[in-house]
């Protein structure tokens, strides 16, 4: 398998399909809306940027949140190019106070919010012997604690019909990353989501998980460079996902099309975890 598809991409997977008004009037917060810097002039979007841009294309105003302000600003420019309102919030989600602040700033900038996407994660260490307790804690601070804190801050300000989307990974379903803290933290997202969905149901707020497999992003390409076997993984659909594939799953869960779906997971992996 290579980064280039063995099959022609659909307009949706290529990111060229027109918007259909699925999020018209909604106000969405995308945490992790930037894309990792790359020297490759043809580098693809990261998942968070694709989610933010697609949400805008579908009619939403978007708060672009990232630790890298310049990257978030670039995403905001792309959101505005879709004709949507954008605001930029710089936040380091490993900081407890920043998680509450980013929600408060999004509400102030957009007037209110109807959806939150937590698209954030890091991986540190290497194998059990190569992972320190400090690295383990740092990964869980970003990959799980931040999702908890963001949901905690968002739930009281989200109204009936709103949606929280947490982004996990197939590393939370089966081993493969060789990073025990990453795998364990991504598995924890499913348990957190169930609880958020339980509390959210009382006020009409849904919570679900998008579970990407191998995705062609700048970070994905870096991972393949470090572990070439990643690039030869036999995916049943014979290609990596694009960030747009992940974005369409997230937008579905943000939209009214999924208004009776909560506490569930959508696995975007080309069949890798089930028939691969």
Catalytic residue numbers, as ranges: 182
* Cα separations in angstroms, 276 against 41, 234, 259, 268, 270: 32, 7, 31, 13, 9
The C-alpha atoms of residue 228 and residue 209 are separated, in whole angstroms, by: 28
Residue 210 makes CB contacts below 8 A (sequence gap 6+) with 165, 166, 167, 168, 246, 249, 250, 253, 265, 266, 268
Residue 43: Cβ-neighbour burial (10 angstroms; 0-12, 13-18, 19+)? middle
Provide the token pair at 86.
């954008």
Q: How far apart are the first and last CA of the chain?
A: 13
CA 271 to chain CA centroid, Å, is: 19
> Alpha-carbon Rg of the chain, whole angstroms?
17
């Amino acid at each position: 398998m290579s980064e280039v598809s063995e099959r022609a991409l659909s307009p949706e997977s290529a990111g060229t399909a027109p918007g259909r008004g699925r999020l018209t009037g909604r106000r969405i917060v995308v945490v992790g809306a930037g894309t990792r810097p790359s020297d490759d002039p043809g580098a693809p979007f990261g998942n968070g940027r694709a989610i933010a841009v697609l949400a805008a294309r579908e009619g939403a105003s978007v708060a672009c949140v990232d630790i890298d302000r310049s990257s978030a600003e670039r995403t905001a420019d792309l959101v505005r190019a879709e004709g949507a309102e954008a605001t930029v919030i710089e936040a380091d989600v490993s900081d407890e106070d920043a998680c509450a602040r980013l929600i408060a700033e999004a509400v102030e900038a957009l007037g209110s919010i109807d959806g939150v996407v937590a698209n954030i994660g890091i991986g540190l260490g290497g194998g059990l012997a190569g992972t320190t307790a400090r690295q383990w804690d740092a990964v869980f601070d970003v990959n799980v604690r931040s999702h908890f804190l963001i949901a905690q801050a968002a739930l009281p300000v989200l109204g009936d019909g709103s949606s929280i989307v947490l982004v996990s990974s197939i590393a939370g379903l089966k081993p493969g990353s060789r990073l025990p803290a990453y795998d364990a933290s991504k598995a924890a997202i499913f348990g957190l989501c169930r609880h958020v969905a339980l509390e959210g149901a009382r006020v009409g707020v849904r919570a679900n998980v998008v579970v990407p497999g191998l995705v062609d992003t700048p970070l994905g390409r870096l991972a393949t460079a470090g572990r070439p076997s990643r690039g030869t993984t036999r995916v049943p659909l014979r290609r990596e996902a694009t960030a747009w594939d992940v974005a369409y799953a997230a937008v579905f869960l943000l939209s009214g099309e999924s208004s009776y779906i909560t506490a569930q997971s959508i696995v975007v992996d080309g069949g890798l975890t089930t028939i691969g």
